[in-house]
Amino acid sequence: MSSPNQPPNNERRPVAYLNEKFLNSPDARALRILAEFLEPLAHFRREKVRDTVVFFGSARLSEDGPLKQYYEDARELARMLTEWADQFTNSTYRFVVCTGGGPGIMEAANRGAHDADGKTIGLNIGLPFEQFPNPYITPELSFEFHYFFMRKFWFAYLAKALVVFPGGYGTMDELMEILTLTQTQKLAKKMTVVLYGSSYWKEIINFDALVRYDMIAPEDLNLFHYADDPQTAFDILKGGLMMYAMQPETPELPSISKSRNPLKPAGTA
């Protein structure tokens, strides 16, 4: 017969960091959030990734679908960008193609970087449908997120440029998040934003109407550029990266962007 203070069968309570019941409880939510910061950070450091260029776009576009041209163009643009960025590889990797890790435009961009023998990142997230890691992501840079906001952190804070292909709610959510961060200058960096497919975007979002109704300022239209072919998009990206991103913001690896603090205009990490 065991004593009142002795667990049955001499079983010991697991240490907290191995206690699965605790780790999955509401009390450990902060630990789970922190894990989605620390695990990618460790991988980016190990793989020597300094910064990224993010590709957004629909998961529903396919290589052989009615809008296949966008898939082909995303693949070609990612290939061109990765080949160009290779010249800056020294002790770290610059302007690594990063996507949401799923099918469609995400797959196309990862595939283009893979075609160029470059590293490429997939920030995947569990969704009820359509979202599984595509096979072109560098295995060591394929991540699975639970929290959307942690995934968004890694999109925004490593990116030096953004290319947005046609997409739906998710794509527009990510686009508006980046435009808001650049408009408000919350990020202490310049970010080049390319909307790929001018006819699509001008039909879907009437930016001129937002100016007309005084919802945004006329100069806010300068926060992004339109492109309709890979070469034009590449030229815009190359120009923006050469102008704003050649010098890493910080010596740390990866180069996580500073957030602008109104009390410290130079920005703070």
- For 173-224, how does the pLDDT look when each residue is reduced to its tens digit (9 = 90+)? 999 999 999 999 898 889 999 999 999 999 999 999 999 999 999 999 999 9
Q: What is the pLDDT of residue 198?
A: 98
Distance between CA atoms of 172 and 58, rounded to whole angstroms? 10
Distance between CA atoms of 34 and 29, rounded to whole angstroms? 9
Going by their DSSP bridges, the two strands 264-268 and 259-261 should be labelled as antiparallel
**Degrees, nearest 5: CA angle 159-29-129:** 60
**What is the arithmetic mean of pLDDT over 154-182?**
96
pTM of the model: 0.91
Distance between CA atoms of 77 and 231, rounded to whole angstroms? 7
Structural domains for the chain: 51-268 (3.40.50.450)
Distance between CA atoms of 31 and 214, rounded to whole angstroms? 43
Q: Are 144 and 126 in contact (CB under 8 A)?
A: yes
**Total Cβ atoms within 10 A of residue 173:** 13
Lowest mean pLDDT among 48-52, 60-64, 123-127, 169-173: 123-127
Helix, strand counts (H, E) of the chain: 9, 9
Q: Which two three-digit tokens encode residue 111?
A: 């595939």
